[in-house]
Amino acid sequence: MTDIKEESGEKKSLNFIEQAIESDIKEGKNAGKIQTRFPPEPNGYLHIGHAKAICMDFGVAKKYGGICNLRFDDTNPVKEDTEYVDSIMEDIQWMGFQWENIYYASDYFQQVWDFAVELIKQGKAYIDEQNAEEIAKQKGTPTQAGTESPYRNRPMEESLALFNKMNTGEIEEGAMVLRAKIDMANPNMHFRDPIIYRVIKHPHHRTGDAWKAYPMYDFAHGQSDYFEGVTHSICTLEFEVHRPLYDYFVNELKETSLAGEAGYRPRQMEFNRLNLTYTVMSKRKLLTLVKEGLVNGWDDPRMPTICGYRRRGYSPESIRKFIDMIGYTKYEALNDVSLLEAALREDLNTRATRVSAVLNPVKLIITNYPEGQVEEMEAINNPEDQNSGMHHIQFGRELWMEREDFMEDAPKKFFRMTPGQEVRLKNAYIVKCTGCKKDENGEITEVYCEYDPHTRSGMPESNRKVKGTLHWVSCSHCLPAEVRLYDRLFKIENPGAEVDSDFRELLNPESLKVLTNCYVEKYLSELKPYSYLQFQRIGYFNIDKESTPEKLIFNRTVGLKDTWGKINHNPQK
């Protein structure tokens, strides 16, 4: 592998696409020009798989001084919508990338049509009046040649006239298609007279009802690349078998008067898809989850969509770091979500403001602390970032602490609150637990302790060794909050691969737990939605987009440690 020096000074080896691009540049192909495109179909929101393609398409263009355009692959009006167009633009920019131009496959409808007409005239395409089922039956198998359509040799004038009718609305959907006349015996099934145009009588989100005949993917993508000036058309591995057909149509196109610049040629290259454990990545399935209300919209924080991750509290940097870690190869793989979470923790550690929140509160009373006294203390925003500054927290006689941090009869290694034991209250004093109060059901209602006034953080005696440090918030200086705890959306590792069961049945019933009785420090009401936070000792959280200072809502982004394996949710493990 070739090595290059990255901007960061880190040595990094080139992936196979970068290597190929470098050798194209060396060979002077396309006069050294580099142009890519990111070609989403606007039929859903982008997911983290698309993020991998985005990092590649925009990344290599930037790295080699080229440009990357955003091209909406809008050749199927039935499933497409401007809502998706807008969300796609927002998500790409949030990921940190900027396109040079925005194009639509529909921009090329006229040129693609003209090319189809040209092929008909040359006897290289014909109108087939069989239905999809009949055509499929004649395809043959990889080892057995297909059967030629009875319409294959019809006069080109007839095909031309019918092709025009396909576009005027005179022909019903499915009644006829335009097929390229290539080779019904080709070992590559995509060459067996592929369908290149069909009738769709549904208004298009951009062109309205100007067109009734729409090109198929294989007849639109390469041509759009060509007309646009794309030099490297990078896509995922499932298109590898389409590449010969891509090249075939580009070659044919170059022979026509539509072609323009003679020396130029786009090159298709393929890398492996991103697949993630405990989720599904198909837009169709994600759309089902949204439509059937199994999640709360495309940006539900459990969704693998870019907007879902954003709402959940992921940073774009953490997603890019993960994509960098898994890399680009020629082999399909299932990527472990815990790797994504590790990248996330590493990133949020440097980014998140440290605050205190008590999710399962019980009252702690410092019996020897003067009533009515309040002390203001400094809390460092982020020890990993010297420029992050600090904010103030208030301390008083009555605090909220986590119920799990107290035990009346504790085992030896319980270094938290238990009668007779000292602990430190974070940023404040060392206290010694003196007991608790219970209600008639034995439920603990209050915990008692005494503080040592000489041990406030920063005082000489504050160095006294205690084994545990607990977080807390002051009862009269905190705010109530709702906290949403998210977990894996699916209960099994590879729900996308299950064929025998309905994927809805594989959903993790415990993927969302809402806690409504939490307390957070007051400071949090000053921060904006999406702020990155660490609830100390608990995990990384962010402020939900629906949160208001009157009703604070937080999302758990990820726990501080990977506990999935330990809790053993997965019966297969």
Residues designated catalytic: 41, 273, 283
Pick 41 or 398: Cβ nearer Mg ion: 41
| Contact track, ligand ATP, 153-182, x by CB under 6 A | ------------------------------
In whole angstroms, how close is the CB of 325 to Mg ion at the nearest point?
25
Q: Candidates 47-55, 168-176, 260-268, 411-419 — which segment interacts with ligand ATP by CB under 6 A?
A: 47-55
Pick 105 or 423: Cβ nearer Mg ion: 105
Interacting residues with Mg ion between 32 and 51 (CB under 5 A): 41
Q: For residue 495, give the amino acid letter.
A: P
Beta strands in 130-176 (DSSP E): none
Helix residue spans in 13-68 (DSSP H): 16-26, 48-63
CB atoms within 10 A of CB 76: 19
Pick 282 or 548: Cβ nearer ligand ATP: 282
CB atoms within 10 A of CB 348: 25
By CB under 6 A, tell whether 66 contacts ligand ATP.
Answer: no
Residue nearest to Mg ion (CB): 41
User: Which of 317, 301, 318 lies closest to 309, judged by CA?
Assistant: 301
Tell me how many degrees the CA angle 363-364-370 measures, rounded to the nearest 5: 125
47, two tokens = 């997911």
Pick 53 or 127: Cβ nearer ligand ATP: 53
Element holding 13 (H helix, E strand): strand 11-13
Pick 41 or 446: Cβ nearer Mg ion: 41
399, two tokens = 């605090």
22 binds, among ligand ATP, Mg ion, none (CB under 5 to 8 A by kind): none
By CB under 6 A, tell whether 33 contacts ligand ATP.
Answer: no
215 binds, among ligand ATP, Mg ion, none (CB under 5 to 8 A by kind): none
Helix (H, G, I), strand (E, B) or coil at 402: strand
Pick 130 or 494: Cβ nearer ligand ATP: 494
Taking the C-alpha atoms of residue 347 and residue 315, their distance in angstroms, rounded to an integer, is 8
Q: Candidates 46-54, 151-159, 319-327, 465-473 — which segment interacts with ligand ATP by CB under 6 A?
A: 46-54
Interacting residues with ligand ATP between 203 and 262 (CB under 6 A): 235-236
CB atoms within 10 A of CB 122: 13
Taking the C-alpha atoms of residue 450 and residue 423, their distance in angstroms, rounded to an integer, is 11
By CB under 6 A, tell whether 40 contacts ligand ATP.
Answer: yes
Q: For residue 4, give the amino acid letter.
A: I
| DSSP 8-state class, residue 370 | P
In whole angstroms, how close is the CB of 277 to ligand ATP at the nearest point?
13
Pick 48 or 171: Cβ nearer ligand ATP: 48
In whole angstroms, how close is the CB of 76 to ligand ATP at the nearest point?
10
In a 10 Å sphere around its CB, with 0-12 CB exposed, 13-18 middle and 19+ buried, how is residue 508 labelled? middle
In whole angstroms, how close is the CB of 49 to ligand ATP at the nearest point?
2
Q: What number of residues does the chain have?
A: 573
Interacting residues with Mg ion between 40 and 99 (CB under 5 A): 41
168, two tokens = 């005027």
By CB under 6 A, tell whether 49 contacts ligand ATP.
Answer: yes
By CB under 6 A, tell whether 274 contacts ligand ATP.
Answer: yes
Residues facing 542 on adjacent strands = 532, 555
Yes or no: say if 105 and 224 are a contact pair by the CB < 8 Å rule.
yes
Taking the C-alpha atoms of residue 529 and residue 527, their distance in angstroms, rounded to an integer, is 7
Interacting residues with ligand ATP between 97 and 136 (CB under 6 A): none
In whole angstroms, how close is the CB of 206 to ligand ATP at the nearest point?
16
Q: Candidates 37-45, 337-345, 363-371, 555-563 — which segment interacts with ligand ATP by CB under 6 A?
A: 37-45
The residue from 29, 34, 50, 225 that contacts ligand ATP (CB under 6 A) is 50
Strand order through the sheet with 478-486: 353-355, 532-535, 539-543, 552-559, 478-486, 512-521, 357-358
* Binding footprint of ligand ATP on the chain (CB under 6 A): 39-41, 49-50, 52-53, 73, 235-236, 273-274, 281-283
